[in-house]
């Protein structure tokens, strides 16, 4: 009888370890996906040149257009609706919050060092750019893991050739 108990015990242990590993691998994948979505959103936002300023030879980002572009790219890359709630085929299950959206425009002197004490983030920009921080919660399948949440941070500069 003790062998039966041992088999059941070992199966439980083995299965838990297996689930834990699968969950951790999936979490890593989601983190990368979130980071890529954020990079693309920041990149799209930082390319929104203000045409009026451009006509005067000034490179300036249009903050409203930048915010719209960032939202659109974040929504497309993480499959979210306009409020940031996940659509049915989204890799996330909880709302994605935009914590920081800062446009660093030509009213600063470059190189400019952006610092955020709250989110422990620092970046040096050579040109006007956009700083974006989002909060993503991993939908863990098994409660073996502690909740996994990230503040994903990124910055993108205006690209001019």
Partner 1 sequence: MRNILVFVLFAAMVCWMMFSPIYKHVLIARQAVLQQETDYLLEVGASGSYGYIDSAMMEQSRERLAAFGMQPELVRFEVTADNGLAATDPASPLPRGTGIMLRMSYPYENLFQIDRLIGLDPVSPDSRMRTFGLKMSEYMP
Q: Which is nearer to partner 1, 105 or 156 (CB)?
A: 156
Residues 96-100: contacts with CB under 8 Å, at least 24 apart: 96/134, 96/135, 96/136, 97/134, 97/135, 98/70, 98/71, 98/74, 98/132, 98/133, 98/134, 99/133, 99/134, 99/135, 99/151, 100/131, 100/132, 100/133, 100/153
Q: How far is the CB of 126 from partner 1 (least distance, A)?
A: 17
- 61, β-bridge pairs: 49
41 with 66: CB under 8 angstroms?
A: no
Q: How far is the CB of 44 from partner 1 (least distance, A)?
A: 4
Q: How far is the CB of 30 from partner 1 (least distance, A)?
A: 10
Interface with partner 1 (CB under 8 A): 3-4, 7, 11, 14-15, 18, 21-22, 25-26, 29, 32-33, 36, 40, 43-44, 47, 69, 72-73, 76-77, 79, 89, 159, 161
For 59, the token pair is 């490179």
Q: How far is the CB of 102 from partner 1 (least distance, A)?
A: 19
Q: Which is nearer to partner 1, 69 or 96 (CB)?
A: 69
1 CB-near residues (< 8 Å, 6+ apart): none
Q: Which is nearer to partner 1, 21 or 118 (CB)?
A: 21
Q: Which is nearer to partner 1, 73 or 138 (CB)?
A: 73
């Amino acid at each position: 009888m003790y062998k039966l108990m041992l088999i059941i015990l070992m199966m439980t242990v083995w299965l838990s370890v297996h689930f834990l590993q699968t969950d951790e691998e999936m979490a890593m994948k989601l983190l990368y996906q979130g980071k890529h979505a954020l990079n693309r959103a920041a990149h799209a936002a930082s390319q929104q040149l203000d045409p009026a300023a451009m006509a005067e030879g000034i490179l300036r980002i249009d903050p409203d257009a930048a915010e719209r572009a960032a939202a659109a790219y974040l929504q497309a890359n993480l499959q979210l609706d306009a409020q940031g709630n996940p659509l049915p085929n989204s890799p996330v299950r909880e709302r994605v919050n935009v914590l920081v959206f800062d446009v660093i425009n030509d009213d600063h002197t470059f190189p400019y060092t952006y610092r955020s004490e709250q989110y422990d983030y620092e970046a040096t920009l050579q040109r006007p750019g956009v700083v974006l921080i989002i909060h993503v919660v991993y939908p863990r399948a098994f409660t073996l893991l502690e909740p996994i949440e990230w503040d994903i941070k990124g910055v993108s500069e205006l690209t001019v050739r």
